[in-house]
Every structure is written in structure tokens, then in C-alpha cells.
Amino acid sequence: MKRNSIVMLVIAAVAGILLTAAGCASNVNPDGSPAWTTSPPSSRSIYYAVGYGKLSNVQNSLIRAESAAKDRLARWASTTVRGALTNYFQDSGESGSRTIEMMENISSQIVNISLNGARIEEQWADPDGGVWVLLSYPVKNLKDAYQRQAEELERKSEAYQVQLLLDYLDIELDGQEN
């Protein structure tokens, strides 16, 4: 009975080692690069972007890779915000060049505000001297930036409406003086 327990423990240990080795093997591409360089992780709460750079030295390559990853992040955020705004304006029935101009302005402001939360999760230098970067970005940051921008627009809209009322009042009062 004791011998069977030892055999079972050995089998379990070997199985554990094999499963761990198989799991590690799946985190590497056939060329030896980390799996995230070709297949970034995915999550509902975090957006991942990969960037690559190969310049004259490792530091410049790292800067280039981070820039490329941030560019991907910005394009994703811009597309997401632009899509939401397009749907909003279509649902509200607004259209025209003023709407498109406002949408472009909102989109770029939100994207510029929101990129601040991005951070490097992983980096890897390949044998050729190129650098890969995995950037993560909490989706919540984009939602927060969107909320702040919407509140700012609301304040500006109220200020614009107040100014319209003051201008109207001036016109009315000027008309009464004559």
C-alpha cells in the first residue's frame, strides 16, 4: 500500500512537471520570441498593444517600440471613441459639418487625455537587436477620459447658452433705449 502511494506521488510529480513544461512552451513562439509578440493577451478590462523598434541602439529601439505600441493604442482609442460618437450623433438625429468637426475635436481630446495610463508590461530584445514592447492600458481610463470630456463639454455648452442669453438681453435692452 505504501509502495502504491509512492508510485502515485512520482506519477503525479512527473505529470505536473510535464504540464508545466507544456505551459511554458506555449508562451514562446517557434523562433524563441515570447508569444505576446505575435499574439497579445486579451482582456475585457485591459487593452494590450505590441510595438517593435530596431534602430541604431537598444535605447532608441526601445523608444521606437514604445512609440509604435502607443500609436496602436491611440488608433484603437480613437476608433472606439469615434464609433461611439458616430452612433450617438446618428441616434440623436444630428448631422452636418459642425457635428463632424465636433466629433473630431472630442475624439482627439479624449485620446490625448487618456493615453497617460499606458504602461509597459513586458519588453524583449531579439537577437537581431530589435526591441519588442507589450503595453497595457486599462479600458477604464478611456471611459474616465470620455466622462471628463463630456462634463467639460457640458460646462462649455452651459457657458455658451449663458452668453447667448446675455447677448439677447443686451439686444433687448438696446432696443428699449431707442
pLDDT tens-digit profile of 13-61?
Answer: 444 444 444 444 469 999 999 999 999 999 989 999 999 999 999 999 9
Q: Which three cell numbers stand for residue 148?
A: 471628463
Residue 160 predicted with pLDDT over 80: no
Q: Report helix, strand and coil shares of the chain as percent, to nearest 5.
A: 70, 15, 15
Q: How far apart are CA 152 and CA 167, in angstroms?
A: 22
Of the listed ranges 26-30, 133-137, 166-170, the least confidently predicted one is 166-170
Q: Which residue ranges make up each domain of the chain?
A: 41-141
Average pLDDT, the chain: 76
The arithmetic mean of pLDDT across residues 103-121, rounded, is 72
Residue 96 to residues 28, 86, 149: CA-CA distances in angstroms? 50, 12, 21
The pLDDT assigned to 167 comes to 73
Distances (CA, A) of 117 to 11, 13, 25: 47, 42, 31
DSSP 8-state symbol, 143: H
Percentage of the chain beyond pLDDT 90 is 35
CATH ID of 41-141, from 3.40.50, 2.60.40, 3.30.1660, 3.40.630: 3.30.1660
* pTM over 0.85, yes/no: no
Residue 152 has pLDDT above 80, yes or no: no
In the sheet that holds 131-138, the strands lie side by side as: 46-53, 131-138, 119-125
Mean pLDDT over residues 55-78, rounded? 91
Query: Please, is 83 exposed, middle or buried when counting C-beta atoms within 10 Å of its C-beta (0-12, 13-18, 19+)?
Result: exposed
pLDDT category at 109 given cuts 50, 70, 90 is low
Q: Cα-atom radius of gyration of the chain, to the nearest Å?
A: 27
